[in-house]
């Protein structure tokens, strides 16, 4: 999918079933390195990033099959603990194979990650955490080489509650000798989903979802089955689409307990939103009001929600200050929104968004997954056609994105 054309659309009406969470399933797939046997993961979205991780596991010698949202991984006794550049540079999340490889194989060679350009994205906390457990690293020719005879439990204090560093440390500590305590750990729901999966495999991970995670290492883990949690970022995208052109939606399978802060913020903007027996219900009957937004680690407003929130703030009544506190450079889509007539100014890591009545359709370019989705949302609030190019970015993180929006009344074409 290279282009998405968004025609002016009326109110959205109906139900959308959420897919499984990209930011959980990629880590669950990496965790299959930890035990021999056949794993079955359900509710796995057919998205490009899942294909990337599947290619990475295959290149290490695992068997991967993905059909009808069921992913089967066959982990043989011996694997090749290397993550090559051509695969890692396609997807930054590949770095989370480092911990499981060190824990289960005792060595790893992983290319330094590329991924979305949100400004500097170091992996120092990943390496420091694994070094605390006894791993030894060297870097050469763009690769990290890691060794560890047997990892030993330790106290790890994260300088910042990094999602990836927490996940790497947890997946390394499950087979380490003794107890590991991770302080200032990330608390995202995807971390709790990973811990649930590992505990099903026989691990002992306590406190996932809180700032302190305790892991008691075990000798061996086993292959299991698991259902992936729904994608709260996909949910936020569809709620923003509703905010852009009004209407009423039920998001099936949505977990309101994963989106408290977002639902509160959208309520503050005038969206009627509540839990529903099948997930989350929301309705927008009139122009939304502006509200300030500040991105924070979970349970704060996720940085991944911000691009779509800015799209609806661009047509809301009033002025909003939007602060990006995680990725200093995550504002590239703003120029594209300004091309559509938005009144937004950026000062360092703040955006001042002055709402306009309507945006105007224009040719725009997607720079990453969420930026692309945000431009489609903006197109729903515009006069005239919006043509989003480089839409392949969107396919990295969204399953049947255009189709799901069309099913509730959005006038969208893909090519
Ligand atoms: C995960 O990235 C998500 N990706 C991102 O979603 C999400 O934006 C991010 O968490 C924050 O919620 C996946 O799960 C695949 P971090 P991750 O480590 O793990 C700094 C999407 O669109 N940091 O929590 O890479 C870092 O630079 C993607 O789905 C270090 O300084 O994020 C950033 O400022 C985009 N050193 C902050 O921490 C480190 O060693 C948070 O990063 C690690 C991180």
3-state secondary structure 318-349: CEEEEECCCCCCCCCHHHHHHHCCCEEEEECC
Give the pLDDT band of residue 116 (cuts 50, 70, 90). low
Residue 287: CB atoms within 10 Å: 15
Residue 145's Cβ-side half-sphere holds a number of Cα atoms within 13 Å equal to 4
Give the pLDDT band of residue 332 (cuts 50, 70, 90). confident
What is the mean pLDDT of the segment spanning 69-79? 97
Find out whether the beta carbon of 125 lies less than 6 Å from any atom of ligand 1.
yes
Q: Given CA atoms 115, 118, 124, 125 in this order, what sign does their dihedral have?
A: negative
Give the tens place of pLDDT for each residue, 179-189. 999 999 999 99
Closest alpha carbon to 266 in 390, 123, 251, 100:
251
What is the mean pLDDT of the segment spanning 164-193? 98
Q: Please provide the average confidence, as pLDDT, over all residues in the chain.
A: 97
| Residue 115 alpha carbon, nearest atom of ligand 1 | 35
Closest alpha carbon to 157 in 178, 190, 181, 175:
181
What share of the chain has pLDDT > 90, as a percent?
94
Q: What's residue 115's pLDDT?
A: 58
CA distances from 252 to 204, 333, 406 (A): 32, 29, 16
| Residue 190 alpha carbon, nearest atom of ligand 1 | 14
Q: How remote is the CA of residue 268 from the centroid of ligand 1, in Å?
A: 27
Q: What's residue 327's pLDDT?
A: 93
Is the per-residue pLDDT at 65 higher than 70?
A: yes
Find out whether the beta carbon of 163 lies less than 6 Å from any atom of ligand 1.
yes
Give the tens place of pLDDT for each residue, 248-291. 999 999 999 999 999 999 999 999 999 999 999 999 999 999 99
Is the per-residue pLDDT at 224 higher than 80?
A: yes
Give the tens place of pLDDT for each residue, 382-392. 999 999 999 99
Report field, pTM of the whole predicted structure over 0.95: yes
Query: Residue 115 corresponds to which tokens in the numbers above?
Result: 């991924």
Q: What's residue 120's pLDDT?
A: 82
CB 266 within 8 A of CB 57: no
Q: What's residue 266's pLDDT?
A: 98
Helix (H) or strand (E) holding 49: helix 48-59
What is the mean pLDDT of the segment spanning 299-318? 98
Find out whether the beta carbon of 191 lies less than 6 Å from any atom of ligand 1.
no
DSSP for 183-217 reads ES----HHHHHHHHHHHHTT--EE-BTBS-EEEE-
DSSP for 241-258 reads HHHHH-EEEEEET--GGG
Give the tens place of pLDDT for each residue, 351-382. 999 999 999 999 999 999 999 999 999 999 99
């Amino acid at each position: 999918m290279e282009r998405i054309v968004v025609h002016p659309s009326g109110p959205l009406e109906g139900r959308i079933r959420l897919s499984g969470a990209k930011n959980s399933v990629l880590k669950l797939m990496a965790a299959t390195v930890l035990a021999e046997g056949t794993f079955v993961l359900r509710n796995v979205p057919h998205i490009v990033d899942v294909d990337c991780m599947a290619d990475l596991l295959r290149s290490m010698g695992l068997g991967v099959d993905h059909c009808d949202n069921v992913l089967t991984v066959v982990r043989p006794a011996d694997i090749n603990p290397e993550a090559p550049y051509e695969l890692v540079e396609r997807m930054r999340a590949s770095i989370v194979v480092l911990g499981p490889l060190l824990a289960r194989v005792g060595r790893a060679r992983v290319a330094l990650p590329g991924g979305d350009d949100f400004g500097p994205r170091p992996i120092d906390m990943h390496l420091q955490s694994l070094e605390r457990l006894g791993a030894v690293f060297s870097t050469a020719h763009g690769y990290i080489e890691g060794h560890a005879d047997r990892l030993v439990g330790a106290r790890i204090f994260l300088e910042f509650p990094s999602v990836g560093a927490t996940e790497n440390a947890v997946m390394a500590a499950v087979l380490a000798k003794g107890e590991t305590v991770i302080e200032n750990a990330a608390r995202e729901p995807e971390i709790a989903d990973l811990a649930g999966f590992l505990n099903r495999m026989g691990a002992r991970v306590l406190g996932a979802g809180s700032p302190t995670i305790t892991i008691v290492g075990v000798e061996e883990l086993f292959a299991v089955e698991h259902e992936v949690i729904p994608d709260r970022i996909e949910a936020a995208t569809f709620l923003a689409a509703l905010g852009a052109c009004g209407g009423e939606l039920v998001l099936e399978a949505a977990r309101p307990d994963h989106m408290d802060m977002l639902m509160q913020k959208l309520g503050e903007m005038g969206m009627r939103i509540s839990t529903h027996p099948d997930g989350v219900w929301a309705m927008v009957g009139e122009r939304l009001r502006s509200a300030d937004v500040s991105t924070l680690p979970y349970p704060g407003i996720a940085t991944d929600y911000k691009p779509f929130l800015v799209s609806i703030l661009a047509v809301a009544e009033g002025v909003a200050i939007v602060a990006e506190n995680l990725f200093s450079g995550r504002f590239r889509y703003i120029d594209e929104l300004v091309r559509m007539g938005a009144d937004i100014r950026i000062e360092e890591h703040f955006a001042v968004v002055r709402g306009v009545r309507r945006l105007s359709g224009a040719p725009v370019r997607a720079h990453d997954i969420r930026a692309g989705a945000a431009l489609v949302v903006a197109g729903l609030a515009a006069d005239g056609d919006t043509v989003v190019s480089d839409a392949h970015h969107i396919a990295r993180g969204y399953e049947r994105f255009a189709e799901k929006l069309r099913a509730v009344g959005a006038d969208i074409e893909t090519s």
